[in-house]
Amino acid sequence: MKKKFIYVFIALLVLTTLSLVGCKKPKPIEGDGQTIPVTSITTESKTAVVVKGTTFDLNAKITPSNATCEGLSYSSSNDKVVSVSADGKCNAVGVGESEITVKCGGKEGKCKVIVGDYIVQGENQTPPENGSTENQTPAPSFAPTTLAIEVFNPVGGGKESEGEKEDQAELKLYGTNANNLFTNLTTALSNANSGSTIVILGGNYNEDITLSKPMRLMGVDYPVFNKMQFNAKEGESVIDGLYFKNTQSPQGGEATCMISTGANVKIQKCKFTLEGQNKTSGGYAILVEKDSVKVEIKDSTIENYRYAIYVQPTSGEIKITNNTLTNLNTGIGIDVRQPNSTPDANYPLSGEIKGNKFNETQIKTQFLFYGESFEGDFDFADHQESQQGQEGNGGGSGNQGLLE
């Protein structure tokens, strides 16, 4: 009886061990009987620029090519800009930015997607047969409206061979045609509707821009322009990621970027540079004319000007935050003086100026106003921090005004 019990115990132990081993065994891939892990996933391009309303499939490559991957998952960081289905079909439903993530086997690949109503690409364009580039530009051959999903995962083989490797493109276009793709911003603006978003690819455009309608301009890889004038009186105008680079400084009361009376403007992630200029004669980078409605300047860099930012009297909202200002005579000037009017009607009623970095700047801030003190719901924190021991920082009834 004792031996029979031992035999039964041994048999149960063997069956349990085999069962546990079976649970740990990976599911074999069809064709070679083994599981090969995914080492990387690469999207077809690092950045995709897409026209709103376009449906497209973002190609992805799995490495090695015979890795075990029973299915991909897709996600969008901003569904209001790009929605993506379970099988990877993307739909550009709104303007702005999103990031598409492709996952499989514990690895992931990402692609930044920028969506606009119009696209400006200044290089490598094919002009119409008559040689004119005005009003329309043919879409380049590499910009189809849709692309079929293509996951490289054939059966068989081992490590990826050199012949299978494909370089990831820096940028691809989707959904472009002669009505939404232009070679210069001036023509795009004349064709675009009020409130549109224009995506501008990197390049030196050598243009002076006048924004007469409220628009959003989004730069990719910092497209370069000369100067900009904001004249739109209704709606918000936004510039994001543009580069203003000049060798000649603005003269007198002029500026690289002029914000007119009545304008509502946001400037973010932009660059302003005067090359080879003396900071005592470099004019203004950004000049806000009196009675602007609302101005926000943030996360931008300005260098080699006499004044980085100068704001004339206004009761509108002013926000200037987290900018880097370098090699200047004066960083930020706020002038609330206005002759022949009531002083308390001519300062910003709301807003803030703080978090800005000043490098090699003689006068960080100026605050020019009537009377012994300033009252208002306006936080000029940078001025408070820089007042101590800094000559010419404004305050009181100073007589420094616009550059002559």
Phi/psi for 230 (5° steps) reads -100, 110
Measured in whole angstroms, the distance separating CA 6 from the mean position of its chain's CA atoms is 73
Q: Which of 337, 336, 341 is nearest to 318 (CA)?
A: 336
pLDDT tens sequence for the chain (404 residues): 555 555 545 555 544 443 433 333 334 444 456 788 899 999 888 999 999 999 998 888 888 888 888 778 899 999 999 999 988 899 999 999 999 999 988 899 999 999 999 999 986 433 333 233 333 333 332 222 222 233 333 222 333 333 344 567 889 999 999 999 999 999 999 999 999 999 999 999 999 999 999 999 999 999 999 999 999 988 999 999 999 998 888 877 789 999 999 999 999 999 999 987 665 666 899 999 988 899 999 999 999 999 999 998 887 889 999 999 999 999 999 887 655 545 445 566 678 999 999 999 999 998 877 655 556 677 888 887 776 544 443 443 333 333 33
Q: What is the pTM of this model?
A: 0.77
User: What is d(CA 179, CA 187) in angstroms, rounded to the nearest whole number?
Assistant: 11
Integer CA distances (angstroms), 159 to 27, 61, 99, 162, 163, in order: 19, 14, 30, 9, 11
User: What is d(CA 252, CA 281) in angstroms, rounded to the nearest whole number?
Assistant: 10
Q: Which of 287, 277, 220, 216 is nearest to 249 (CA)?
A: 277
Question: What's the burial of 156, exposed, middle or buried (CB within 10 Å: 0-12/13-18/19+)?
Answer: exposed
